[in-house]
Amino acid sequence: MPQSIRALLNANGFDPINVPGPQDWLANHPEPGQTFQQFLDSHPNRPEQIRRTIYLQPLERFSAPGPSLRDLKKWTEAFFAMPVHVREEIDYRTAGITSRINSSSGKRQLLTADILHLLSTQLPGDAYCLLGITMQDLYPDPSWNFVFGEASLRDRVGVYSFARYDPLFYGEDSSDRGQLILRRSCKVLAHETGHMFGIAHCIYFRCIMNGSNHLAESDARPPHLCPVDLRKLYWSISFDPISRYAHLREFCREVGFNDEAQWIDTQLTRVPQS
């Protein structure tokens, strides 16, 4: 393993996970965690010479204050150090996707099973995965209230909703609404795509792969991987760790994620100068 990645995997640069409160994920969903060896033993999907592109499939036309497809593409490219392609949008209203009006929120929801089936029939030959993204709320089964997303690792497809990351979903507003939606959307996109690489929820450090039981807990997750999960992603992709962090820092500065850009600066000072 190169010296640069060894330095960036030093646990001293990361915060341990907080003790969960009564409403938090680990208090309600006890998980044993996933060591690096357990990750390897699970035989996760790994990018191949041909299947190396992440595809994003919008299910409607995205418009402000929803997240910019350009920004989501740039974030995903930087985070996973892989080619990313945004496909032309599919209109969920004419794609044969079952929908309903949620009795609690009064908002439209799309059935995830129909979306995953549709995506599985359109998987490009060079796709590592195909990810549906939508500003519509989702549900996986009539008995469920909602779900943020769902994926089929076997079929290499997933679908994720950004609807509940908009303050207006809850009848609230914010002066930085657009950036808040973008930040939340980037984090959930990286978290759920991380699962596509076989990375389970993290119980060791504050990490983008921490489970989340509510919006405040999701907001508290940092937008980066801990050393345990960074090692897993490095094994999967074999990226240049310094270039990856520099690419992420550039994106964070561009969109105003200044706290994360400063964190990356600190991380990069840990790499010995040759």
Pairing of strands 137-139, 108-111: parallel
Beta strands in the chain (DSSP E): 53-58, 84-86, 99-101, 108-111, 127-134, 137-139, 149-152, 157-161
> Which residue ranges does the chain devote to CATH 3.40.390.10?
47-197
Q: How far apart are CA 50 and CA 112, in angstroms?
A: 28
- DSSP letter at 92 equals G
Write down the pLDDT at residue 149: 86
User: Looking at the annotation, which residues are catalytic?
Assistant: 192
Angle at 190 between CA 42 and CA 37, to 5 degrees: 25
Instruction: Give, for all 274 residues of the chain, the pLDDT tens digit.
Output: 778 788 888 898 899 999 999 999 999 999 999 999 999 999 999 998 899 999 999 999 988 788 999 999 999 999 999 999 999 999 999 999 999 999 999 999 999 999 999 999 999 999 999 999 999 999 999 999 998 889 888 899 999 999 999 999 998 988 889 999 999 999 999 998 999 999 999 999 999 999 988 889 999 999 999 999 999 999 999 999 999 999 999 999 999 999 999 999 999 998 887 6
pTM (two decimals): 0.93
- Backbone CA torsion sign across 72, 53, 131, 91: positive
CB-based burial label for 119 (10 Å; 0-12, 13-18, 19+)? buried
Pairing of strands 157-161, 127-134: parallel
Write down the pLDDT at residue 141: 92
Integer angstrom CA distances of residue 191 from 97, 185, 203, 223, 253: 25, 10, 14, 9, 21
Write down the pLDDT at residue 223: 97
Q: Return the CATH number of the domain spanning residue range 47-197.
A: 3.40.390.10
Cβ atoms of 133 and 59 closer than 8 Å? yes
Q: Where are the alpha helices (DSSP H) in 160-240?
A: 177-196, 215-220, 227-237
Q: Where are the alpha helices (DSSP H) in 44-136?
A: 69-80, 112-120
Cβ atoms of 18 and 211 closer than 8 Å? no
Q: How far apart are CA 200 and CA 228, in angstroms?
A: 11
